[in-house]
Amino acid sequence: MTTQPENGTLYFLDMSGGRLVSVKPDGTGLRTVVAGVADHPDGVIVDAAAGHVYWTNMGIPSANDGSIERVDLDGHSRTVIVSSGNAFTPKQIQLDAASGKLYWCDREGMRVMRADLDGSQIETLIQTGHGETDRRDQRNWCVGVAVDHAEAKLYWTQKGADNAGEGRIFRAGLEIRAGQTPTDRDDIELVYGGLPEPIDLDIDHVNRVLYWTDRGDPPRGNTVNRAPLDSQPTDRPEPEIIFNHLMEGIGLALDVVGERMFITDLAGSVYIASLDGANRTTLLAAQGNLTGIAYTDASIR
């Protein structure tokens, strides 16, 4: 790992404690940025240039009451940008700075969505089902999301039932083709199927590699996996497991310049490792039920 261990800042969410937390990548400087986050926070992303952290609130999974909030890096100016009811159960969130858009997956809403950075112009890009019958089928649940702006591609996970080997990763264009809808798009491609339970995604844009967590059962679950981003169905390799023995792995954030990654699990640990999974270290333990994690190279004092 080339970056100095203390460089940058991590932000992660503790669902059980209802808090947004920051820490240095060497595990020091632990600080609660926002307390009182009571609506099951899940996904988090940093816009360091604008000085903001965004996170999703799942709300009650059976109710259409999810939301997205924003706060300054230092914890001030907390505001709701996507109000309750405009997202059903928002999960992982990503920032595409080049287009000025936020992208997120909406689990029980069975869709992939985006909006401007202020929460306006909400759009549905992918719709995998409609109504209560479809909602009960976890194969329709969209969870993790990543954006490949260079190739104008959107990636997302559909987890399937717990440990059922129904998990899938898909990709499609960032824009819906003329004459098509989020439900009937013809550019959706299955990238990987038969996965235990894929959750969050991230992309190494420099080396063109897709990474994801999987919270299913071992040996393929409770892992971090990676695979070439641009492979075609005829030459697509099996995913490489590079990190295992997680306790329901959820959050994932890459620091490509620093050649390292950060992972969270529901058992309350934050991990750091090289991008190939080597040099594994537990930064923090017993922090609650941890969901999303984000990294910024900005050091917050």
Provide block-wise average pLDDT over 10 residues at a time, the chain (301 residues).
71 97 96 95 97 97 95 96 96 96 98 98 98 97 97 97 94 97 97 97 98 95 97 92 97 97 98 98 97 89 53
Side-chain half-sphere CA neighbours of 33 within 13 A: 27
> What is the residue whose two structure tokens read 């309350």?
268
Q: What is the pTM (predicted TM-score) of this model?
A: 0.96
Q: Within its chain, how far is the Cα of 137 from the centroid?
A: 21
Residue 245 DSSP one-character state = -
Q: Cα-atom radius of gyration of the chain, to the nearest Å?
A: 18
pLDDT of residue 299: 72
Residue 137: C-alpha distances to residues 134, 140, 158 (Å): 5, 6, 11
Distance CA 103, CA 116 (A): 9
76-106 residues labelled b (16+ CB within 10 A) or e (exposed): eeeeebbeeebbbbbbbbbbbeeeebbbbbb
Distance CA 107, CA 59 (A): 11
pLDDT of residue 105: 98
- Who contacts 15 (Cβ-Cβ below 8 Å, separation ≥6)? 40, 41, 42, 288, 289, 290, 291
pLDDT of residue 163: 86
Beta strands across the sheet bearing 101-106:
90-96, 101-106, 111-116, 123-127
* Both structure tokens of 272: 């750091």
pLDDT of residue 30: 97
